[in-house]
Chain A
Amino acid sequence: MSQLAELAAKAKAQLDAHTYENVQWHFHESTGSPFWLEKAKTYKFDPRKEVKCFDDLKKFPHFEDEWLRGGPISRWIPKGLAGKPAYVFETGGTTGIPKSRMVIEDHWIDYENFSDTLPDEYFPRGANWLMLGPSGPRRLRLAVEHLAQYRGGICFCVDLDPRWVVKLLKKGKIKEAEDYKDHVIDQAVTILSANHNIQCAFMTPKLLEALAMRLLDDGTSIAESGIKGIFAGGTEFTPQWYRTCREELLGPDVYITPTYGNTLMGLACGKPYDPADNYKITYYAPQPRAVIETVEFKDYNQVVGYGQTGRVKLYTMTKELFIPGFMERDEGERELPHEKFPWDGISGTRPFHEYAKTTTVGVY
C-alpha cells in the first residue's frame, strides 16, 4: 500500500469513528438538540444503533436547508452544550426570513484549523488583518476576526450589507450598486492608508478586484499597501481569475489562496499552489468535521468517479451541528486525495447548472 493510500485509509477510519461519535452525541436524549431528537422520531431507523460509519449517513434523508428558516433558534442547541454563549449566523435574507445557523465555537475551531494551513511567510503572525467582506449577521466577519486574533493580530473591518447590493442588482440599479462598491472600497483604502500594519486580508473576489483597480488608479498597488497574503473564496475564484490575480493584478509579492465554504460547512482549503497544476483549484473539506462528496446529478447517494462531474454534497459533524448530507448549490469534479489532505477533493466548483441562470452574484 502506498503512503498516500495508508494516509487515506487512516483518514477514513478516523471519519468513521468521528461519525459514530457524533451520531451518538446528537441523538442521545441527554446531549442531542431538540430538533434532531424530534426528527429521529420520524425515522424508521434508530440512528444511534444503525449508524456505525460514514457510509451509514446515507440512511438519513437529505438535510433541507429550509429547516433553518425561522425559530426558535434554540431548537438547534444540543442539550450537551446548553448554557454556553451562542451566536446566530444568517445566510441569504434579501427577501423573507433568512436561514440561520446557531454557533457556539465552531467558527473559531474551523478558522484555527484553517490557520494551520496558512504560510507564515505571507500571513505573518502578529500582523493585522483587513476583512473586506460582508458585515452584519455573517459568520465570515467574526471568523476572520478570530483568525486574526488567533494569529496574534487585530482585524479591521468595513461596513458592507450584501443584501442591499443584491436588492440593487435585482432592480437593475447597476450604478447604485457600483456606488455602494465604491463606498466599501473607500473604507478599505482609508484603513490601508492609516498605518495599521495590515499585512493579511480576506477579500471577496469582486472586492479584491475593485480594491486592486482603485489602488492602481491611485498609482499604487495591493503589494505597496503592505498586504502580503490574501485568502478569498467563492465560485468566482476560477482558475483564470486565479491566474489573472497572480500574473497581473497582484504581482509576485502577494500570495493568494482560494477557499470554499459556507455557514453550514466551515472552510475548505485549496490545494497549495503548484505551478504544475496550471492554476487548477482543488478544495479539500476540513475532515472529519466536514466532508464534501461529489455525487451523481440523478442519484445524490452515488459518488461520481474521479475526474467526473457531479453536484456538491456537504456533511457537517461537530458537537454543535449535525448535517447528514446537504445538497449544495454548486457542482464540480471529484479529485483524488492529496498527501496533505488524504481524502477526496473537488475542483472546478461553479454554480449548479440548473440554478446558475437564476443566481444573482453581488459583491459577496
Chain B
Amino acid sequence: MFDIPILRFGQTYESMEKQAVVHFDTGEPVAQLHQATGAMVKLDLKKSQKARDALRAVPIAKLIDICKAAARMYLEETLPCGNGSLTPAEFCRLQSATTGLPENMCSANMRKNAFVLGHMDEVLDALTRGLPYEVLEKGYGKESRGVMVSYQATTPVFGMVLPNNSPGVHTLWLPAIPMQIGLCIKPGSQEFWTPYRITEAFFKAGLPREAISVYPGGHDVGGAVMTDCQRAMIFGGQTTVDQHAGNPKISVHGPGFSKVILGDDVVDRWEDYLDLMVDSVFANSGRSCINASGIWASRHTREIADAIAQRLGPVVPLPPNDPKSSLAAFTTPGAAEAMNAQIDEGCQADGVTEMTAKYRNGPRLEKRERCDYLRPTVIHCTGPDVPLANTEYMFPFVSVVECPQNKMIAQIKQTLVGTALTDDAKFKQQLLDATNIDRLNIGPVKTVQLNWLQPHEGNIVDFLFRNRAFQDTPPVAH
C-alpha cells in the first residue's frame, strides 16, 4: 500500500493523521494519504516567496525545457510515489481504482496533461501573446514592436483546491511553473495521483524542490489555501461558484453547462453532426465541464435526441480495466441516487421526455455494493423553460432543447464551451458578441476538443500577472 506524505515546498512531511484511500469497487486499501492542517499551510505560505525566488533563479527557457522533459517522464517513466514507485500503467490502474474512472480514460487524461507540458513553449507563447520571456523574468521589457511593457506577478505561489472528477483539469495550472510562480496544491482526496506524479516528474527533470507544495487534507486546508494565497483556483459546484464570484483573488471553476448549438441553416443536416454531438456528450464519461450537457436547435430536436439515445442508451458499465469501458463509477455514497431522483422528478414535467429509457434495457441507476453507476441519459425538452433544459450532471447526460434561433443565445445562459454549427453570418456575429459564452467554437469542433493555445475561463497570465505601466525614460514631448 502506498504511503504518501505531505510535500511542504519540497520537504516531505509525515503527518500523524492519515486517510485510507480504498478501491472504489472492492474497498481494498490502496494508499494512505497523509493529512495536512490549515495551520501548516498558513505557516508555510508565510515563506512562499522562497518558492518564487527559487524559480526565478532558473530562466524561463530552462523551465520550459524542464516542462518538456517532465512531460516525457510523466508519460513514460517509472516515478516515485510516496514510499514506492509507479510505472505509467500502474499509475493509471491506481488512479482508476480510487476515482472510478476507467483506466483507458486515465491514460487519455495523462496524454492530455503531457501534451500541455510538452508543448509549453507554444502554450506560453499563445497565452502571453508572444511576450518575450525577459518581460516575465525581469518584470518589464520591450515587446518585439518596441513597446515597453511590464508584467508584475500578483502572487509568489498559485494556490489550488483541486477536484476528483477528471485528471484533465491539471492542464490548467501547469503554465504557472514556467512563468516562475510556485504551486500550493490541495489535491482531491481520490485524485491526488496526478499532482504528485507531475511534481515528481518536475523534480526529476530538475525543477527546484522549493517550488511546489502538496497538502492533502480537509476543509481547513482548502480554506487556508484560499485565504492565504494571493491567487488561487478552486473547483466546485454552483454554490462554490456563487460564493467566490467577483473575487479577483480567486479563479473559480464550476459546472460548464457546455452546449452544441445548431443554427437554422444547418439543422436540417443534423445527421452530419451526430458523431460530434455524441462525442461531446460522451467523452471522458461525461465527467468534464467541457462535456456538452445541452444541444439546442429550433427543429428536429426529437429526432436528434432519439438518434443520440440510440447510440448512448445501450452503453453499460464495464470493468475499469476493460479497454472499452466508457462509464465512470460514482464513488460518493448517495450522489448517483440523488441525481437519479432529480432526473426522474424532472421527467414528470410537461414537455420533458427521457429518450434513452427505451434503448437502455434496465434502470438508469445501477447500484453496486460500494459504488453506483448512472447510465447515459438523453432528455428531450420542448422548450428552454421546462425542467432539465439547462442542467448538468457528472455523467453522460444531455438535454436536447427546442428553441427558436433568435432566442437561443439569451436562453442558453452561462456556457463554458459553446460549439455553434452555422454559416449564418448574422448569427455568427451574435455568437461572437455573446458574453455568456466563454469558449466559442464556430464550426465542427467537439466541445471536448480544446486547443491548449487558447485561454480557458480567463487567461492564467492575466490572473497571475498584472499588466501595469512602467517607464524608464520620459515619453516624447506632447
Contacts and interface: CB of A to CB of B under 8 A. Distances in A.
Given A172-B239, A174-B243, A178-B227, A209 B17 contact: no
A189 interface: no
Interface in B21-46: 35, 37-40, 42-43, 46
Contact of A240 (B17, B42, B242, B243): B17
A172 B16 contact: no
Contacts of B42: 209, 213
A256 interface: no
Contacts of A248: 39-40, 43
Contact of B17 (A238, A245, A249): A238
Give the interface size bracket for B toward A.
10 to 19
A244 B37 contact: yes
Interface in B234-251: 239, 242-243, 247
A216 B37 contact: no
B321 interface: no
Interface in B85-99: none
B15 interface: yes
Best-surrounded residue of B35, B42, B223, B247 (most CB of chain A within 10 A): B42
A279 B15 CA distance: 11
A244 B242 CA distance: 33
A240 B16 contact: yes
Nearest to A239: B16
A243 B17 CA distance: 11
Q: Which secondary structure dominates where chain B touches chain A?
A: helix
Interface in A213-253: 213, 216-217, 236, 238-241, 243-245, 248-249
Contact of A241 (B37, B43, B243): B37
Given A172-B242, A216-B46, A249-B39, A240 B15 contact: yes
A244 B243 contact: no
User: Most chain-B CB neighbours within 10 Å: which of A174, A178, A217?
Assistant: A174
B47 to A, nearest CB: 10
A265 B71 CA distance: 58
Interface centre among A209, A217, A239, A279 (most CB of B within 10 A): A209
Interface in B319-356: none
**Highest count of chain B CB atoms <10 Å: which of A178, A236, A244, A248:** A244
Contacts of B15: 240
A176 to B, nearest CB: 12
A244 B17 contact: no
B227 A244 contact: no
Nearest to B18: A240
A236 B243 CA distance: 25
A94 interface: no
A168 B40 CA distance: 25
Nearest to B34: A240
B46 A244 contact: no
Interface string B238-276: 010011000100000000000000000000000000000
Interface in A263-286: 278-279
A239 B243 contact: no
Nearest to B243: A172
Given A172-B239, A172-B243, A174-B243, A239 B40 contact: no
Contacts of B38: 209
A236 B218 CA distance: 12
Interface string B192-223: 00000000000000000000000000001001
B37 A240 contact: yes
A334 B220 CA distance: 27
A28 B462 CA distance: 76
A244 B39 contact: yes
A290 B35 CA distance: 33
Nearest to B44: A248
A203 B396 CA distance: 49
Contacts of A278: 16
Given A178-B227, A248-B40, A279 B243 contact: no
Interface in A301-354: none
A212 B40 CA distance: 12
A236 B38 CA distance: 11
A241 B242 contact: no
B278 to A, nearest CB: 37
Contacts of A244: 37, 39-40, 43
Nearest to A236: B220
A175 B35 CA distance: 25
Nearest to B226: A174
Contacts of A216: 43, 46
A240 B35 contact: yes
Nearest to A278: B16
B220 to A, nearest CB: 8
A279 B43 contact: no
A255 to B, nearest CB: 18
A244 B224 CA distance: 15
A172 B226 CA distance: 14
Interface string B4-15: 000000000001
Contacts of B16: 238-240, 243, 278-279
A175 B15 CA distance: 29
B79 to A, nearest CB: 27
Nearest to A238: B17
A248 B44 CA distance: 10
Nearest to A208: B39
Contacts of B17: 238-240
Nearest to B223: A174
A175 B246 CA distance: 12
Contacts of A212: 39
Contacts of B46: 213, 216-217
A208 to B, nearest CB: 9
Given A239-B17, A240-B16, A240-B35, A249 B239 contact: no
A238 B243 CA distance: 29
A238 B36 CA distance: 11
A236 B37 CA distance: 10
Nearest to A279: B16
A216 to B, nearest CB: 6
Contacts of B43: 213, 216, 244, 248-249
Contacts of A243: 16
Interface string B429-472: 00000000000000000000000000000000000000000000
B39 A209 contact: yes
A241 B39 contact: yes
Contacts of A249: 39, 43
Sorted from nearest, which 4 A-B pairs have the closest CB atoms? A240-B16, A172-B243, A239-B16, A240-B17
Given A174-B227, A238-B37, 10 more contacts: A174-B223, A174-B226, A174-B243, A209-B38, A213-B46, A238-B16, A240-B15, A240-B17, A241-B39, A244-B37
12 contacts: A172-B239, A172-B242, A213-B42, A213-B43, A238-B17, A239-B16, A240-B16, A240-B37, A241-B37, A241-B39, A244-B37, A248-B39
Interface of A: 172, 174-175, 178, 209, 212-213, 216-217, 236, 238-241, 243-245, 248-249, 278-279
